[in-house]
Amino acid sequence: MAHDILSLAGPAFDNHLMRAQALIPFFLPLACFAQQPASQQPSGVQLFRANCAGCHGDDAKGTAQGPGLAMNSRVAKQTAGELREFLNHGNPGAGMPSFADLPAAEKASLASYLRSINNDTIQHPAGANGGTVKWGPPQPGDWLSYNGSDSANRYSPLRQITTANVASLKVKWVYPIDYFGLEATPLEADGVIYVTGPNQVFALNALTGEAIWHYSRPMTPGLVGDPRLGTNRGAALLRDRIYFITDNGHLLGINRADGTLVWETPIAPEVKQPYGATVAPFVVGTKPGEERVIAGVTGADHGIRGFLAAFDPETGALDWRRWTVPRAGEPGIETWKGKEPVAGGGSTWLTGSYDAASDTLYWATGNPWPDSDDRDRPGDNLYTDCVLALNPKTGEIKWYYQFTPHDLKDRDATEPNVLVDTVYQGKPSKILLHADRNGFFYVLDRTNGKVLLAKTFLKRNDYAVSVGPDGRPVVKDPRGCPSDAANWDSTAYSPATRLYYFMALEECVGKATSYPDQQGQRFLRAVNIDTGDVAWEIPQTGSTRAKTWSGVLATAGGLVFYGSPNGGFSAVNQKTGKILWEFPTNVRMKASPMTFSFKNKQYIVVAAGPNILCFGL
């Protein structure tokens, strides 16, 4: 949950009513609380006045510091048990601490008091937030998945916004989410935007940004890495369901109409490893009955056995699990010549791609663990830093390619694997495009994993001099830079230019600085897929900050849209890289843009800091 608590006091929030099991932050920030020990059991009103009245008023009708809790429909719809649970966990992301140390009897008394002052409250009709979504069949201009298409190529055929008129692009609406580092890509279907935040899903009117419904639950304590920060990259959609993964790795099936929870399934098995999740789930399959929801996990930087899993979209039942690190006796264990890798890494936190014609799922894997200490893991360490080509019905590996064997520098291969059908090297080909953290741009035959082209896209690469005929990097220094030449953010290929667009980091230049500043300089680069040469580039000004990877979107209007990591959103000419339009966001950009068409008008949407921005002509 991440709403500004003061914003809840206004009437505009009537459209944002919370679900029963996930309270919105009605209560005041930590500074407004002063828990008092008591020698005898205080009454509910005494507890309220001691702990809550400072911001919400003695009469619970609100003050300038906090909204009223009496006659509040959002409180009235909660049971006493749900109120106690919220008090127990709190909502640190919105400023409310946990009251786990408050005696159980006092929590119960306070919850009962909150219920009593809302006995006569008029409640809204049933539904997550009082609003519902109606929809029809998918439309050509919809953006129905994380990358907008199964191929993971963020190239849109929409062409209403062009090089000739993009200078007239204006903000149509802004929707704020109380989380400063949004990385999500929204979905759009039939005039409704579905966007995620930390353990939250919002349904918004695509033309106005007005909220229709909102699902939320408190963030999970005790996590590590990006899930602990609240990072989430999006949702998936299939018919009447929205699919979403929580920070602690639970896959949720949510009613598309009103945001109510239909089912919930833990992704990870019951093992004591630091699993979490940030990934946007991915729906694959060619017809009803064969569809599956694919989900991956984080945690390799802290020691997990990575995996990818498939679930039934109707029930949430586990269909299959593909481990990315083998155990004794399994294929690939021969590449771990030390101890058995019970927590060997291989996270799966980036949404994959899918070829319906061959029914093949492509998914990237992360680094081995421990990241830099390889004393107990001699060998290539399969299937870390790989792209896996999988049978989506069974999880069986058809083929794999490992970009960085025996990784010593956290060179996850969790970069987009973009599927393209084109004439390549003189013949019709099915290829896969990938710009890796190790600094090389790859073209693979996606039917068998054969390397067709591999060339560094950096001016300097201290890790490897080339990729050999056997597909393995010719390593110069296994600990040499780069370790972050490209990253998870979206990429795009334009069939009109035969250029592949992505954000790159020239990491092997300059001096290393203290976190969050990184060494080197970022560039938006356009690489010719036939030669691997950089056709044009746009240097990104300012210091290079960690975790500010912003993605790209190409369109049939001849444009590439991208977020400037240090605070802007721009459109450039696909062929030349000439900047045609800029919008100063003044916040660091961490998300990837999308586009959709509704009622014969094209729009561009991107997350910037805590805001969802929608642009149109």
Please work out, in degrees rounded to the nearest 5, the angle formed at the alpha carbon of residue 615 by the alpha carbons of 610 and 616: 165
Cβ contacts of residue 373 below 8 Å, gap of 6+?
none
* CA dist 456 → 86, 183, 441, 506, 525 (Å): 52, 27, 6, 11, 12
Say how many C-beta atoms besides its own lie within 10 A of residue 358's C-beta: 13
Residue 122 in tokens: 């008029």
C-alpha–C-alpha distance, residues 504 and 526, integer Å = 10
C-alpha–C-alpha distance, residues 237 and 235, integer Å = 7
Peptide bond into 370 cis (omega under 30): yes
The question of whether 410 is a catalytic residue gets the answer yes
The closest of 594, 546, 535, 547 to 569, measured between CA atoms, is 594
Please name the amino acid found at residue 515.
Y
> Burial, 558: exposed, middle or buried (Cβ in 10 Å; 0-12, 13-18, 19+)?
buried
Please work out, in degrees rounded to the nearest 5, the angle formed at the alpha carbon of residue 88 by the alpha carbons of 122 and 255: 55
The closest of 351, 472, 462 to 405, measured between CA atoms, is 472
Q: Are 538 and 142 contacting, i.e. CB atoms less than 8 angstroms apart?
A: no
Query: Strands, E, within 191-296: which ranges?
Result: 192-197, 200-205, 211-216, 236-238, 241-245, 250-255, 261-266, 282-284, 292-296
C-alpha–C-alpha distance, residues 173 and 36, integer Å = 45
Say how many C-beta atoms besides its own lie within 10 A of residue 363's C-beta: 25
C-alpha–C-alpha distance, residues 369 and 349, integer Å = 15
Considering the candidates 142, 247, 407, 410, report the single residue annotated as catalytic: 410
C-alpha–C-alpha distance, residues 69 and 60, integer Å = 5
Residue with tokens 């090089």: 163
DSSP assignment of 32-84 equals G------SS---HHHHHHHHTHHHH-TTSS-BTTB---TT-HHHHTS-HHHHH
Q: How many residues does the chain have?
A: 617
The closest of 219, 199, 466, 234 to 349, measured between CA atoms, is 234
Peptide bond into 392 cis (omega under 30): no
- The residues with which 545 forms a beta bridge, in sequence order, are 517
Residue 119 in tokens: 């006995």
C-alpha–C-alpha distance, residues 293 and 501, integer Å = 28
Catalytic residues: 410
